[in-house]
Amino acid sequence: MDVLGTLINAASVAAGSIAGLLLKRRLPRRGEEIVFNTVGLFTAYLGLTMALRAESPVSLVLGLVAGALAGELCKLEEALEGMGERLRRVSGRGSGFTEGLITAFLTYCVGPMTVIGSLRDGMGDPSILLAKSVMDGAVSVAYAAAMGVGVLFSAIPLLLFQGSLALIGALAGAVLPSRAVADMTGAGGVLLLGLSLNLLKLKKVRVGNMLPALVLVPLISQLLGC
């Protein structure tokens, strides 16, 4: 199985995070707030752009609701928080560590580029993840400067998550249909909009529990055709 793209993606996040942590030492308190708000607004812009690409609005709503309920039942957000807390204890860092890790991980992994790119990576084509690595590396600089070392550790679950998808891609050897890609893009955009509300401290949205929607939305779209 080829995971070159996944390895480079994780490395870009780590490198960008280190650069952001070095910048953070020279960044005043007011500067951190500016960076945080800017990243939140950019996340909202990116989420809106992606959400508008959905071709099946009915399927999008149904999939998001079903995904959120499934995630709530499985307590995905609590699982992510628990993983973050374990890593925090290992690193000896403060409570902001978990927020940085989860926020960064969700940002890097909710988009269709993650799913499709990782599947293609497993099939021997890392090109999509290589492009994604450039974006993630740039975002990780701002995230680490605003939220600290938890962003650096987000490279670990990213590596595990994308590596698992690459394994599926290697086994399946199939490409998602274009309609499924568009609707997955829309679902990822809605999740990013929720994440932007968290970043801007406007409302607490349990985005981690909505991750199953990335699978359910395109599946419902293909079943219903609307």
Tens digit of each residue's pLDDT, the chain (226 residues): 578 899 999 999 999 999 988 877 665 666 667 767 887 888 788 889 889 988 889 999 999 999 999 999 988 888 877 776 676 666 555 557 877 888 888 888 876 678 778 888 888 889 889 888 988 888 898 888 888 888 999 999 999 999 998 988 887 656 667 788 788 888 888 988 988 888 788 888 888 888 889 889 988 988 887 6
pTM of the model: 0.72
AA letter at 45: Y
Q: Residue 116 in contact with residue 176, Cβ under 8 Å?
A: yes
User: What is the pLDDT at residue 90?
Assistant: 63
22/19 Cα distance (integer angstroms): 5
What is the per-residue burial (b if ≥16 Cβ within 10 Å, else e) of 20-35? bbebbeebeeeeeeeb
76/117 Cα distance (integer angstroms): 23
138/161 Cα distance (integer angstroms): 20
39/50 Cα distance (integer angstroms): 16
Count Cβ atoms below 10 Å from residue 160 Cβ, excluding itself: 13
